[in-house]
Amino acid sequence: MVSDTGEVLAVDVGGTKLAVGRVDHGGRVVRKLHVPTPRNVDAEGLWRTLLSLVESVVDDRPVAAVGVGCGGPMRWPAGEVSPLNIPAWRRFPLRRRLQERFPDLPVRVHNDAVCLAVGEHWRGAGAGVGGFLGMVVSTGVGGGVVVDGRVVDGLTGNAGHVGHVVVDPHGPPCACGGSGCLEAIASGPAVAAWAQREGWHTAGEVSGRAVAEDAARGHPVAIAALTRSGQALGVAIASVVHLLEIEAVAVGGGLSQAGPLLFGPMQEAFRRHARMPFARDCRIVPAALGQDAGLVGAAALVLAGDRYWSGN
């Protein structure tokens, strides 16, 4: 469906930014544009912003297919999106709109966290591995699962919700309605909220990033907050590895920039809980593709659809 030499259009729709790029068959982002996600616009205004980015990227030569990552939830594979962090779009028919613009091309839309995981598996930290977990630790905690070298979608595209693995049944309430979920403990906002309760103050924005910055400066409560997040991540990873014999885990997203202050406790908790030989051998590494992972994964939906797309 996609020629060996054709570049594809990749789109990454997030609550913070809209990114659009051309990705070649090797997974290289050969051209990229991005803008902050507009606020105070309606559904059509946001669509027009996205479409103008798209037109800028396809104006010089055609693309062979279109792959899109977008914040969830969504109806999948229909690609009707209601991103939690983009109130302007509720049941917005993103896949259909792009299909109308590119009537002769395959257009595929998936969850942005799944795309990040797919990108890391296709061309990043998980390349060549059969069982892989890609995680995004940011405003939320999301991810994608690869088994036998193929992404797991689930019946309605909702597989990969690793942020809702329960890490402490007596833990704090979660936005999903449950409690003790990984996301409720390990996400940026959860880290910041916990740090505040424990006496951390900031003159600026209350965020996981601010906590990480103070932790890097040696603030003990900020360090403890990242430790708590990392431990929860390590516990959840141990559970997933036991369940699926995952061979490699890549952790990305804003909070992962905290580096060893997060990865140290994560690795330590993982080692404490994952003691059987097959589990112990799992590698946990930072995501490798950085800002491009979402675009690369969106491109993989169409460039390597045999492994990364089971929808229609």
Least Å distance, CB 197 to a copy of itself, is: 19
Site of tokens 């939690």: 84
Q: Where are the beta strands (DSSP E) in the chain?
A: 8-13, 17-23, 29-36, 66-70, 74-75, 80-81, 92-93, 107-111, 132-137, 141-147, 150-151, 248-252, 283-286
In angstroms, the CA 1 to CA 11 distance is: 19
> Residue 66 has which token pair?
């279109």
Least Å distance, CB 24 to a copy of itself, is: 29
Decide if 311 contacts 76 (C-beta within 8 A): yes
Question: Smaller CB distance to a copy of itself: residue 258 or 269?
Answer: 269
In angstroms, the CA 28 to CA 62 distance is: 17
Least Å distance, CB 270 to a copy of itself, is: 10
Question: Smaller CB distance to a copy of itself: residue 97 or 150?
Answer: 150
Least Å distance, CB 157 to a copy of itself, is: 8
- Beta bridge pairs of residue 21: 10, 32
Decide if 45 contacts 65 (C-beta within 8 A): no
Beta carbons within 8 Å of 289's beta carbon, 6+ residues apart: 119, 120, 123, 124, 125, 252, 296
- Beta bridge pairs of residue 144: 134
Question: Smaller CB distance to a copy of itself: residue 50 or 274?
Answer: 274
Question: Smaller CB distance to a copy of itself: residue 47 or 132?
Answer: 132
Question: Smaller CB distance to a copy of itself: residue 14 or 234?
Answer: 234
Question: Smaller CB distance to a copy of itself: residue 22 or 228?
Answer: 228
Nearest to 116 by CA among 168, 77, 67, 186: 67
> Which residues are near a copy of itself by CB under 8 A?
130-131, 145, 147-148, 150, 152-162, 164-170, 176-181, 231-232, 235-236, 238-240, 242-247, 269, 272-276, 278-279, 310
Least Å distance, CB 272 to a copy of itself, is: 7
Decide if 271 contacts 235 (C-beta within 8 A): no
- Beta bridge pairs of residue 179: 173
Least Å distance, CB 245 to a copy of itself, is: 2
Least Å distance, CB 227 to a copy of itself, is: 13
Question: Smaller CB distance to a copy of itself: residue 52 or 156?
Answer: 156
